[in-house]
Chain A
Amino acid sequence: MRIALDRPRCEGHGLCEEAAPSLMHLDDDGELVLDVEEVSADADVAAAKAAARVCPVAALSLA
């Protein structure tokens, strides 16, 4: 699965990083960086889904 970021929507809440710290992080300017875009391992897919779920502005999606 591929993680997609709708960048204009991202407000830098960082709840996704707290849910999936191995897949994404906010840089020093508070901009989200996807460290991994393709996920296949079960644990990564679960973390990616959890990250998409906690985003209050629905900036992340999985396809």
Chain B
Amino acid sequence: MRLRRVVVGNGIAGLTAGEALRAGGYDGELVVVGEEPHPPYSRPALSKALLRDLADVSSHRLPEPETEAVEMLGVRATGLDPARRVVRLDDGSETSYDGLAIATGTRARRLGPEGCGELTLRGLDDALALQERLAARPSVIVVGAGPLGMEIASGCLDAGCEVTLVARGAPLATQLGAVLSGVLTRAAVGRGLRIVTSSSARVLDGTAVEADGRLLSADLVISAVGDEPNVEWLADSGLLVGGALVVDSRGRLTGLSGVVAAGDVATFPTKHGPRRVPLWTSAIDQAKTAAAGLLRGDAAPELVFQPYFWTEQFGLSLKVCGDLVFSGAPEVVVGDLAGDSMLLRWAQPDGTATVAAVNHRIPVPKLRRMTHPPSASRHE
């Protein structure tokens, strides 16, 4: 009988998993279930190019897959029965599988009550709705000062809006450390961003935020306070461990053959312990690993996770290779910390390094090589 492998999720992880199955020689039936009805798009572009240039409506589009998959788009998976090997769908039907790749991603976390008008930015529909609203140059409050919140604030400023950012501490400090936080915050303030620091913010509705007891209001309130994995549909599957979808170094669910998971939804082993790492290259590398794990089991290579992070905001471009750990003062390889172009390097205890380029053009493979311990890069 012809095999039937099913990929649930149509973001970059699902897309890559399907293509990697084909590239790995799988020629059986391939079914892709995707909640979003859209053709493939780049999520990172939604808060960067798509917000920066409101006239460009194609900067997010990705090449169509050539996997000859049966695509079930606009359909949500609502349940999984691993004993019967079926995925239940929200149109009331079921689809059976011999092998399953779970790549259902995450959704934006919200702060306000359901339906209060608070905007978030996670999917293409969110981005298009935000583009439309920004055309009238509304005043904007962005809640959350991580990379996404800062990119949204930057895009809104570029659109001519007055923007207030509600931050718990120094913007980006949690993710990128004090030095890069300082560099990017300086650029943000220079471009006119107003920053309100508040230990606890409450979104009251689509136009009002309470920050440490103080009432802030604007035409739009956009929250960017992290994401939540889409795992509810797996609640009665027995697959979740403490609410998380935990995979091994080959993307496989422990103790269950024929099921793998990849992308933002999956908690996978990193050298800092099991983590979800919702980044573009993380999703791609995990998906390739999981597809091989599904096809070849123990013979498949283990995930080699090499973090790559980038952001564009307030006229600055930042690219980072290596672990996203930024303790202490970096070595300034090029430029200076007071300028707007620099190459910085943080030595890590394990001999690797974290390297960040701010408005400094450098081939990323070269940046990556700078993260290797000295012995590994002797032949440069």
Contacts and interface: CB of A to CB of B under 8 A. Distances in A.
B42 A26 contact: no
A5 interface: no
Contact of A12 (B42, B280, B364, B368): B364
A41 to B, nearest CB: 15
B365 A17 contact: yes
Nearest to B16: A53
B218 interface: no
B362 interface: yes
B66 interface: yes
Given A26-B364, A58-B59, A49 B66 contact: yes
Given A9-B59, A11-B317, A56 B45 contact: yes
A12 B363 contact: yes
A15 interface: yes
Contacts of B312: 11
B363 A17 contact: yes
A30 B360 CA distance: 9
B42 A57 contact: yes
A63 to B, nearest CB: 11
Contact of A53 (B44, B63, B308, B361): B63
Interface residues of B, number: 30
A61 B63 CA distance: 7
A56 B23 contact: no
A9 B281 CA distance: 18
B49 interface: yes
A29 B319 contact: no
B290 to A, nearest CB: 16
A56 B133 CA distance: 25
Given A13-B364, A30-B362, A53 B19 contact: yes
Interface in A14-58: 14-15, 17-18, 25-31, 46, 49-50, 52-54, 56-58
A54 B365 contact: no
A39 to B, nearest CB: 14
Contacts of B16: 53
A58 B284 contact: no
Given A53-B19, A56-B44, A26 B363 contact: yes
A57 B362 CA distance: 18
Interface string B56-73: 000111110010000000
B364 A58 contact: no
A18 B60 CA distance: 21
Contacts of A13: 308, 310, 319, 364
Contacts of B281: 15, 54
Quick one: which of A14, A50, A54 has the most chain B CB within 10 A? A14
B181 to A, nearest CB: 22
Contact of A14 (B60, B280, B317, B363): B363
Interface string B329-368: 0000000000000000000000000000000011111111
7 contacts: A12-B361, A13-B308, A13-B310, A15-B308, A17-B365, A25-B363, A53-B16
Interface of B: 15-16, 19, 23, 42, 44-45, 49, 59-63, 66, 280-281, 284, 308, 310, 312, 317, 319, 361-368
User: Shortest 4 CB-CB distances between A and B: which pairs?
Assistant: A14-B364, A26-B363, A30-B361, A56-B44
